[in-house]
Amino acid sequence: MRYDYDVIVIGAGNGGLAAASKLSAAGLKTVVLEKHNLPGGVATSFVRGRFEFEASLHELCDVGTEEEPRLVRNLFAGLGSDAAFVNEKNLFRTVVTGPDGYDVTLESGEDFEKSLVKACPGCEKSIAKLKKVLANTSEALEYNDAKNGNPNKLVMLMRYGKFLISASHSLDDVLRSLGFDRRTRNVLETYWSYLGVPADELNSMHYWEMARGYINGGAGIPTMKSYGLSLSLADTILKNGGEIRYNTEVTGLIFDENGRVAGVKAGSDEFFAKETVSNVIPHSVFAMDGRERLPSKDKKLLNARRLGLSFVCIYAGLDRSAAELGLNDYSVFVAHNSSTRRQYENTGKTIGMYVANCLNVAVPDATPAGTCSLFITVPVFPKSGIFDGVDAANYKKFKSDFSRKYIADFEKTLGIELLPYIEEISVATPATFARYFGVPNGTAYGYELSAWDGVLSRTLNRSNELNVPGLTFCGGHSVNGDGFGVTYTSGVEAAETVVSRLAAAGISGPAAAGISRPAAAPDTLVAKNGGAHEN
């Protein structure tokens, strides 16, 4: 059967929901096609016994507070969502064992610098230098926006030299140049795993754009879990007159005689539209159909890009409260080597670095009274070899052995006891995510942010890649790179691109308010007289 729309959105993940909210608000006849029976992608939850576990997304950066909202909170409000967040002041606790080990807790907001100096005495001068770099970065990004991505090169060189250094060097190189000693660098680099590339390769500017989102206001935790975020956007789409068709898997693209994407196939149905937005990773989209229509340079690009990290996630529901078990920290990073490069390379060979989150510390009633949940995330990096020798016959044993090993390590490292109190446990692997999300290797964020394929290079080459007429991409695999917050941003940006394109063709609905940079908010890592704000 044939159906006609202004815009088709493939996938009701984070980016797809944000895009459809924006498109439907613009008065465009919009439909979301989702293969599952519920929205959200990684922003969803599941129930085991009396516990509801987050599948993957449990926090967002750059949310800000109600009094001083930042990008994500403003974005949801601008889309008409009633999503609510709580802010966790504890930035993280990081525990590294071994001869260079440490046990450090950092706070967010105004207490960040104080907690860092307490943990790493003598770093005050380096912090002051870092502030100047970040202030210059914010000013450069604002100038770039004002020039619509075409800044004057001489102005960039003369005014924004610190930004250019940060944008063209690794995180570790920049911190070294600012005089931070090894221990302080290791502490400041703790969030590296969220972006999936070790600090000696990870782009400094990209790291700090993410890290500052956490530092300024803390982690933003959805009060109704991440599935609440997904439902709020789904409700917004429906209120705007859009449609969401669940249990409708897109199986192919439809091209017109000029090679333009004119719609999609879903089983025996055909959906036609003037524009299509895909929340599905390009590898999967072009595997369905159309790879032969890609320009040669785009085929080479897709072949060259490496799929990014996935996870093994251990979800444990415990029949004791967090306080009774000694789980006093919302977020704990654990590693047995202080080098991020070694942490990256050792995954799969030894117990790699991992993150443990106890949601009850931030949201006490996240589980039934007298209980708590623990969420252990083990990043799985490309070529880690973590599944070498695993097949269908020993897959269950692998999950059992793996979870026991990491739970035992967490117990030993923190000096607590968990195993006797586990009431429910579930383990998801990259195979789980590959099956559920339909992504190769179960990658959660798309493509690895390598030295040659980071956010800066993607931004500079935005107009030169994957230019298939009628098709726009959004999601974790997009220009913005890894992270849950930026998937929502990418959806809004994709929608704005489509709205502008259709308006130029004389097709438009009632104008929707744009989502842009938030109003200036206090930034603990920007010089007070810098007059700049966070991206």
Say if CB 200 and CB 172 are below 8 A apart: yes
Euclidean distance between CA atoms 134 and 208, whole angstroms? 8
Q: What six digits make up the tokens of 367?
A: 């589980």
User: Is the Cα dihedral 439, 441, 442, 445 positive or negative?
Assistant: negative
Mind listing the pLDDT tens digit for each residue in 308-344? 889 999 999 999 999 999 999 999 999 999 999 989 8
Please tell me the distance from the alpha carbon of residue 419 to that of residue 107, in angstroms, as a whole number: 29
523 φ, ψ to 5°? -125, 115
269's enclosing H/E stretch is strand 269-278
SS3 at position 137: helix
Q: Which residues contact 415 (CB under 8 A, 6 or more apart)?
A: 326
Phi-psi region of 32 (alpha: psi -120 to 50; beta: other; left: phi over 0): beta
Instruction: For residue 51, give Cα distances in angstroms to 316, 373, 424.
Output: 9, 8, 8
Distance (Å, whole) CA 46 – CA 52: 6
Q: How far apart are CA 496 and CA 508, in angstroms?
A: 12
**Interatomic CA distance for residues 282 and 473, integer angstroms:** 8
Rounded to the nearest 5°, which phi and psi values hold at 119?
-80, -30
Helix axis angle for 225-239 and 14-25, nearest 10°, is 30
User: pLDDT means per 10 residues in the chain (535 residues)?
Assistant: 97 96 97 95 93 91 89 94 92 93 94 96 96 92 82 89 90 97 97 91 90 90 92 97 97 92 96 96 83 79 87 96 97 94 82 94 95 95 84 95 96 97 96 86 83 76 80 84 80 95 82 39 42 30
| Backbone φ and ψ of 424, nearest 5° | -135, 145
Compute the distance between CA of residue 368 and CA of residue 378 in angstroms, rounded to an integer.
Answer: 26
| Amino acid, res. 397 | K
429 and 437 Cβ atoms separated by less than 8 Å: no
CA neighbor of 29 nearest in space, from 475, 510, 493, 500: 510
Nearest to 161 by CA among 145, 179, 143, 146: 143
- Per-residue pLDDT at 104: 97
For residue 110, count other CB atoms closer than 10 A to its CB: 10
Three-state SS for 453-472 is CCHHHHHHCHHHCCCCCCEE
Give the CATH fold of the 2-43+71-83+224-304+453-504 domain: FAD/NAD(P)-binding domain (3.50.50)
Q: Please give the pLDDT value at position 299.
A: 84
β 261-266/269-278 pair status: antiparallel
Token pair of 348, please? 């799969």
Task: Please tell me the distance from the alpha carbon of residue 13 to that of residue 343, in angstroms, as a whole number.
Answer: 30
Q: One-letter amino acid identity for 368? A: P
Half-sphere exposure of residue 408: CA atoms within 13 angstroms, side-chain side: 7
Q: So what's the pLDDT on residue 457?
A: 76
Question: Per-domain residue ranges for the chain?
Answer: 2-43+71-83+224-304+453-504, 90-216, 307-437
Tokens of residue 159, six digits: 């005014």
Give residue 477's pLDDT: 81
- Residue 91: HSE in the Cβ half-sphere, 13 Å Cα cutoff: 28
What pLDDT sits at residue 482? 60
The residues with which 310 forms a beta bridge, in sequence order, are: 380
Distance CA 350, CA 178 (A): 33
Q: Rounded to whole angstroms, how far apart are CA atoms 72 and 63?
A: 5
The distance between the two most distant Cα atoms of the chain, rounded to a whole number of Å, is 69
What lies within 8 Å, CB to CB, of 261 at 6+ separation is 253, 254, 255, 276, 290, 468, 469, 470, 471
pTM (two decimals): 0.90
Amino acid 527: pLDDT: 38
